[in-house]
Amino acid sequence: MATSNSLLQNEAKVKNWIIVISVLIPVAVAVLLFMPSKVNIGAEWVYFLPHLNAVMNSAASLALILGLIFVKKKMYSYHGATMSVAFGLGAIFLVSYVIYHGAAESTSFGGEGWVRPVYYFLLITHIILAAVALFPILFAYYYGYTNQREKHRKVVKFAYPIWLYVSVTGVIVYLMISPYYIH
């Protein structure tokens, strides 16, 4: 009984951390995006980060797709490995994204005609879903990592399509705006 009780206490702590992280990260990103002046880190290398982010999002998208294939084939260890790769890439991406947007001005989209509303639709849906994605992703990862399969399956129904959409549209938005980068 004591081990079951301590497991519940640990899970309650983890859930609280997931909630705190899921709120703080989008708020921090919003502050960085809209702060009046950027942090001067004195380096031009930050202008390479959007390109690196697109590569990481592409690799994360591939890992997510492979993770789905592996779970459908009941290859659970491969599924766990590819989802951990996607999770790790997502964490590295987030750090890179924060560094870039803390140091560099945002790039304006210069496309015209029919592509402009397409770009903004993808961008807006990407931003909204990225802001809420962390919550179900962290729960899905936690439940998968702790082998709570029933809870994992319930959360993944929401987390997976959001995560894949955010990851894929991140690459598409990058490809659409990349011709307009100044550096």
pLDDT in tens, 77-91: 999 999 999 999 999
Q: Residue 147 has what DSSP assignment?
A: T
Rounded-to-integer distance, Cα 151 and Cα 15, Å:
13
* Residues 6+ positions from 40 with CB-CB distance below 8 Å: 103
Rounded average pLDDT over 49-70: 96
The CATH architecture one would assign to domain 2-180 is Up-down Bundle (1.20)
- In the chain, domain spans: 2-180
What pTM, to 2 d.p., does this model score? Answer: 0.86
Q: Taking 90 as the threshold, does the pLDDT of residue 119 lie above it?
A: yes
Q: Which pLDDT belongs to residue 171?
A: 96
9 compared with 155, residue with greater pLDDT: 155
pLDDT tens for residues 15-58? 889 999 989 988 888 887 777 777 777 777 888 899 999 999 99
Q: Choose the most confident range, by mean pLDDT, from 9-23, 70-84, 167-181.
A: 70-84
Task: Give the C-alpha separation, 169 to 119, whole Å.
Answer: 10
pLDDT of 153 over the 70 cut: yes
